[in-house]
Amino acid sequence: MILVVGHKNPDSDSICSALVATELLRARGEEATPIRQGEINRETQHILEVAGAELPELRTSVAGEKIWLVDYSDLAQAPDDVAEAQILGIVDHHRLGDVMTVNPMEAWIWPVGCTNTVLFNMFKIEGHAISPTIAKLMMSAILSDTVGFASPTCTQKDKDAVEELATIAGVNDVDAFIKDLLIAKTNIEGLSAAELVEKDLKGYPFNGRDVVVGQVELATLEQVDGMIDALEADLTSRCEEQNLAFAAVMLTDITTAQTRLLYKGEWAEKLTKHEKDGMLMMENTLSRKKQGWPWLQAELV
């Protein structure tokens, strides 16, 4: 049995990729099952309901198992005992991380907007049929990760995939489909500061230390008015409790591509020069992968 596992603090692409890659492996004649490392967000719940798909099993230990990693290749985002597992494959759309294997493995890492764009092309290359349920999962993940094609990470391959998948899924109005998805994506009502930071938090090893960078996608920055102090306190606590050199969260208005960066930790002073009126605002910034994290790496050296 192969376990297909997305990253910690799973987003929609991570969950959908686990489900879709499992179907690909089964189409190849392999025994496979999807798992997840954490609770899902409201957008992912919406996607699963629309697609009619089951939630993967919650499982954080993979010791002694054969596994595929989807939507990441950084050890910090893998199960804690991943060193005791046999990694057979990776499908991802991020930078190549620090995963190392004893034996050769299958790896598909493309510079596209979503892991499911890679998986869609794998289905096509291998000639496997795509069901309406799998098509809805893939197109939803692509539209989520590219923020309805608005993100700078979006490529023509992502757009082409959604066009074909919409036909298979029976989705006639893609714009309406995107609108419903973005409403679910930006729904933060009732979430605590800690839950917001955890919503899409990723860990990175950098210059011999550990850092975390989260992102909260919003319809307007006014949604977090009154929560800034609590969010910053949460970042401070994470630095102290986990010995992090830096912890940040990107508060991103997906309608204006304006991001407010909250940050704490030993390395925080490296960014204060960019503040204006006590805030660090990042213009034309939608993507953590292509914009936020690369900029932070250059500033934190």
Q: Quick check: 199 pLDDT over 90?
A: no
Domain locations along the chain: 2-186, 193-300
Q: 246-253 and 258-264 as β-strands: parallel, antiparallel, unpaired? A: antiparallel
Q: How confident is the model at residue 4 (pLDDT cuts 50, 70, 90)?
A: very high
Confidence of residue 279 (pLDDT cuts 50, 70, 90): very high
H helix count then E strand count, the chain? 9, 11
**Whether 195 contacts 187, CB under 8 Å:** no
Q: Which conformational region is residue 280 in: left (phi greater than 0), alpha (psi within -120 to 50 degrees), or beta?
A: beta
For residues 113 and 118, give the distance between their C-alpha atoms in angstroms, rounded to a whole number.
Answer: 9
User: Is the CATH number of domain 2-186 3.90.1640.10?
Assistant: yes
Stretch 236-247: mean pLDDT, rounded? 97
Q: Which of 112-121, 186-195, 215-224 has the highest mean pLDDT?
A: 112-121
34: confidence class by pLDDT, cuts 50, 70, 90: very high
Q: What is the pLDDT of residues 129-145, one digit of tens each?
A: 999 999 999 999 999 99
HEC per residue, 237-285: HHHHHHCCCEEEEEEEECCCCEEEEEEECCCHHHCHHHCECCEEEECCC
- Asked if 41 contacts 11 with a C-beta cutoff of 8 angstroms, the reply is yes
- Residues 12, 144 contacting (CB under 8 angstroms): yes
Give the pair of three-digit tokens for residue 293.
């994290």
Nearest to 55 by CA among 25, 101, 14, 7: 14
Find all residues with CB under 8 Å of 42, minimum gap 6, and list them. Answer: 184, 185, 187
May I ask the CATH class of domain 193-300? alpha beta
| Tens digit of each residue's pLDDT (9 = 90 or more) over 40-69 | 999 999 999 999 999 999 999 999 999 999
β-strands 209-218, 2-5 pairing: unpaired
